[in-house]
Amino acid sequence: MRAARRRMAQSVTTDAPTGDASGSGTGEERSHREEIKIPLPDGFDPAKHQGVLLRRLAERRGAGWRLDLIDMNRRVAFASRTLTLTQVQAVTKSMKVVALQTDVKPADGERLAAQFAAQFPGFQMTGFEPHIGRAELTMMSPAEVHARAAVAELMRVKPWQVQVSARIGGGFDMVLPSGYLPSRHDEKLNEVARSVIGEPGWYARFDGRARRGAVIPGRLPSFPPSVPHPLGRVIRPDVRTRWNAEAGDWGRIPIGVLLAGPGEPDGELLRTDFEANPSMQISGVMGSGKGVLINSLITGALAHGLEVGLVDAVKACVDYVDFKPFLKPGFCAENLEQAVCVLQMAYDEGQRRRKLIKKRQVQKFAQLPTSAAVRPLLVVVDEATSLLQAEPVPKGLPKDSPLLAEVGERNMLRATTLNLLSKIPRELRFAGVILVLASQVASSTVGIPTELRANLPAKILLGPKPTENNRRLALANHDLVPTIPGHIADDPGGAARGVGVFEFQGRSTGVFKAFYSPPAELAGWLRSLRMPVCDDPAPTPEQMARHVPTFASADGEPRCPGDDAPRRGGRAPSGRSSAAIRTEMGDNWDIDPGTGGRLTGQARANKARHVSAQVARGSA
């Protein structure tokens, strides 16, 4: 008998109801007859089990049922009940209010929603308040029903808890339930908008307080083929001709535009922030747009009153020839030796400022008085990988081989360059010496160690499709930085040219496109601002002699690597003996023009090397 009761309970939950309704439905009382067919289990005895069947039916589907027929031949029973829906009121043509029976429970919501949808074609239950005996029905299109179901599933609520209506212009206006949290739901709502309700380009916008918003049709944001540099439109007039620390935006140099958000016509300007991020790493494979970005950076820095130095020992600054006249005198390096000189002078300038800051008892260079004449110094180092990667030392050569000396000296200069590049961002961030390091690949295997990358807080990675390994090397937290959207990366119309991602401390990461204007146009604009110019910004021979190290003996004579002791008869890196240099140049070749005294130590060795090279060129 217990088995029969269990089978009766199961049969009650699986039957499908049928029904009919009568009445006008406008401010009147409506009666709804609900019928159900129940398969009878084996062992069912009408005399014993009718009461059990009705009780189970009431537990599963509510009260008011009666048995109309028990057919033992077909082993089915038919039950029915009549529901009175008091005051089914048509508030408007598209809305009805239903008064519910007193025995309706919150758990009956889904059943009643299905019942009303079948009873009133085109209407859906949009409000359900069983505690006050009220339900609301609204006419909804299939698209509105679909949108409501998608958002309800996302928020894990019942469909009638999400209010949806078609929006003028396309999309849907919505009112979300009280559990809506922007931080928790906005990203998922945008995903549902573009992948379930609409198509790529659709987006969601909601007010967190009112919980009102809309799912709106839109196009995928993209970039034009090129974005011209805005030049004077974004450079404040009061900082064009001289640096002004009080302006507060000296380090905010425009370099490109951000990818517009959904529904936004244009992206905002992307600016550097050299006050919060005093050093920058720019990465990108060949053709990704590093040179174009550096052109914009140099232009904006000069217009903001910064002093600019440039190191490009690989391509001899050919990409920046239009900007050479505007560089700080002595701070344009076209070869490895000049690179060491420029970086050493930049480091020495930082040390001078460091002492001045300490003397004035301030915290950073921007707090120094105007009389100190201290402006930010931006040093751009391009093609850093080729600049820093050491050459293999030839084997099997004698210790006094000129080739061995040449390779050894170049590797020494590279090591010196790396040492200076590491010290400038580590020690001089408060002194206004800003380092920008650009390279194709930034890893320790090609000469750029992890410590140096860690001291460059502003990160830019150019290129539409960088590899995952490049992202790891170029970005501090690559998994938190967005990738270039596929529709931009694969765009044949030029949207992918000059695009990249950025990661600056103190602001959100993002996707951007660098400005592009012809270098001659940028240089012409700088001339219109009457920027000071110089004929030759390369380091002078005296600066080279003072700041570039060379292999030398203890008494200042050049010597080859591997010499066990100083030798006055050693050879300079050019291969010429120092005795020959003295014979041809005279006894006064090593006079310091600045002091009138003789050079000693490293400065004397450097001067010997340069004079030797000059003589060699003159006799060739």
Per-residue model confidence as pLDDT tens digits over 70-129: 998 999 999 887 765 556 777 788 999 988 877 788 999 999 999 889 888 999 999 999
Q: Which of 68, 61, 51 is nearest to 101 (CA)?
A: 61
CA angle 498, 503, 509 (to 5 degrees): 90
Please state the pTM of the whole predicted model: 0.71
pLDDT at 99: 85
Q: Please count the other Cβ atoms lying within 10 Å of the Cβ belonging to residue 247.
A: 13
Residue that the structure tokens 């009061």 belong to: 238
- When comparing pLDDT for 526 and 373, which is higher? 526
571, 558 Cβ separation under 8 angstroms:
yes
Structural Rg of the chain based on CA atoms: 40
pLDDT at 586: 59
Which residues, 6 or more positions from 573, have their beta carbon under 8 angstroms from its beta carbon? Answer: 402, 405, 406, 409, 550, 551, 558, 609, 612, 613
- Distance in angstroms (rounded) separating the CA atoms of residues 19 and 82: 9
* Antiparallel, parallel or unpaired: β 510-514 and 254-258: antiparallel
133: confidence class by pLDDT, cuts 50, 70, 90 = confident
- When comparing pLDDT for 568 and 419, which is higher? 419
- Distance in angstroms (rounded) separating the CA atoms of residues 81 and 129: 23
CATH homologous superfamily, domain 231-236+253-362+371-390+413-528: P-loop containing nucleotide triphosphate hydrolases (3.40.50.300)
pLDDT at 19: 47
- Distance in angstroms (rounded) separating the CA atoms of residues 491 and 513: 14
DSSP state of 485: P
pLDDT at 460: 97
Annotated binding-site residue numbers: 284-291
Annotated binding-site residue numbers for ATP: 284-291
pLDDT at 613: 60
- Distance in angstroms (rounded) separating the CA atoms of residues 322 and 452: 30
Residue that the structure tokens 């599963």 belong to: 60
Residue that the structure tokens 């540099």 belong to: 229
Q: Domain spans of the chain? A: 231-236+253-362+371-390+413-528, 550-619
- Distance in angstroms (rounded) separating the CA atoms of residues 292 and 73: 89
17, 35 Cβ separation under 8 angstroms:
yes
Please list the residues that pair with 503 across neighbouring strands. 459
Evaluated on CA atoms 430, 435, 441, 442, the torsion sign reads negative
CA–CA distance from 280 to each of 283, 474, 489 (Å)?
Answer: 10, 11, 24
Please list the residues that pair with 86 across neighbouring strands. 99
